[in-house]
Amino acid sequence: MQRRPNTVNRIDLERDLREAGVRDGDLLVVHSSLSRVGWIQGGPLDALAALRAVLGPRGTLVMPTFTFNLSCWGMPPFDPERTPSRVGVLTDALRHLDGSVRSSHPTHSVAAIGPLAADLIGDRIDYEPLGIGSPLDRAQMMGGRILLIGVGQNRNSTVHVAECYAQVPYFAVNFSEDSSWDEAWYLNEKGGRELVIIDQMPGSSEGFDVLENPLRRMGVVRDVMIGEAPSQMMEGNRLCVAVTSLLMENPALLLGGDATSDITRRRRLHTMKVLNQRSHRPTDLTPILQGSAP
């Protein structure tokens, strides 16, 4: 018989969040798997209430509400008001809260609530989906912290920001195989269609678990518990600096392991060619492509 998760209430969550280091007034980016926390009595709304209570009125809560509405996949234009998040019930609940704001990026929108929300979201799409100047980059630049609830680094989207700072060569490989860029459409405030050209489309994060041990050795990650869920707390800027440094040394670091997605395979092959050209001689990339950290 499958064991039913322990019941967790809002008071339990508030206690665990404080013990994890969440502080009044924090700017907090959250990635989560709510089912791993336990049986939350009030569901996603109580989880959000606990987060907001611990952050207090001066705190700002940020979550991804990604939809991946790429044109090459036949996806309709992204509607910030109506298109549901595809990355968890907690994120979709956040975008529905009174006072929350959501960015208009058609593939990687972000929702936020709190006094810094509007500054983080901005009013124009003049950045790559998770690139320099994106909401998650702004969050780490503004001293934001990251809490991974029940998930690991393979759900930490700020790692994609570090890919942009490191200028990884594999951004040259797009999801749209017949084009040198990706594209997506969104609906503006007047309901008109607007096109976004994407040069640095984030790929799969399936290889990001290679970062778990290096980040702990570097003192970036602190392991905590939220309900029954092993979780991780970190400073966004320290994470971004650490991962950028690792990628500068080893551009293929995140493309190894047991990665099986098509985009990762194509980006891995491209990176092998680029690194071989840089060395001007055949290079044994087996250790890199198996995900061995420097």
Position with higher pLDDT, 261 vs 3:
261
263 domain residue, yes or no: no
Count of other CB atoms within 10 angstroms of residue 84: 13
d(CA 37, CA 205): 22
Query: What does the alpha-carbon distance between residue 271 and residue 45 come to, in Å, rounded to a whole number?
Result: 43
Please say if the pLDDT value at position 252 is more than 50: yes
Looking at residue 93, its amino acid is A
Answer yes or no: is 257 within a domain.
no
pLDDT value, residue 123: 85
For residue 180, the one-letter residue type is S
pLDDT at 282 over 70: no
Which pLDDT belongs to residue 144?
98
Residues ≥6 apart with Cβ < 8 Å to 262: none
The answer as to whether 38 is a domain residue is yes
Contacts of 242 (CB under 8 A, 6+ apart): 162, 214, 215, 218, 220
pLDDT of residue 4: 53
Q: What is the largest CA-CA distance in the chain?
A: 60
Neighbours of 162 (CB within 10 A): 25
Domain ranges, residue 240: 7-250
Q: Tell me the per-residue pLDDT of 157-172, one tens digit each, with 9 for 90 and over.
A: 999 999 999 999 999 9
Residues 215 and 239: beta-carbon distance below 8 Å:
yes
DSSP 104-123: --SSS-EEEESTTHHHHH-S
Contact (CB, 8 A) for 161 and 64 = no
Is the pLDDT at 287 greater than 60? The verdict is no
Q: Is residue 272 part of a domain?
A: no
Q: What is residue 279's predicted lDDT score, i.e. its pLDDT?
A: 62
Does the pLDDT at position 284 exceed 50?
no
Answer whether residue 261 is part of any domain. no
The pLDDT value given to residue 281 = 42
Q: What is the pLDDT of residues 168-184, one digit of tens each?
A: 999 999 999 878 899 99
Token pair, residue 91, equals 């994120």
H/E element, 135:
helix 135-141
pLDDT tens-digit map of 75-114: 899 999 999 999 999 999 999 999 999 999 999 999 999 9
* pLDDT for residue 277: 83
Give strand pairing partners of 29: 62, 146
Helix (H) or strand (E) holding 262: helix 262-279
- Quick one: what percent of the chain has pLDDT higher than 70? 92
Determine whether 247 is exposed, middle or buried from the number of CB atoms within 10 Å of its CB (0-12, 13-18, 19+).
buried
Q: For all residues of the chain together, what is the average pLDDT? A: 91
- Under DSSP, the state recorded for 187 is E
Instruction: Give the pLDDT score at 288.
Output: 34
Q: For residue 273, is it within any domain?
A: no
What's the pTM value of the predicted model, to 2 decimals? Answer: 0.91
Query: What's the number of domains the chain is made of?
Result: 1
Q: Is the pLDDT of residue 146 over 60?
A: yes
Higher pLDDT, 41 or 111: 111
Confidence class of residue 257 from pLDDT cuts 50, 70 and 90? low
Q: Is 95 domain-assigned?
A: yes
Q: Is residue 274 part of a domain?
A: no
Mean pLDDT of 130-143: 97
pLDDT at 48 over 80: yes
pLDDT, tens digit, 9 for 90 and up, residues 188-219 = 988 899 999 999 999 999 999 999 999 999 99
pLDDT at res. 258:
64
DSSP string, 145-176: EEEEES--GGG-THHHHHHHHHT-GGGGS-S-
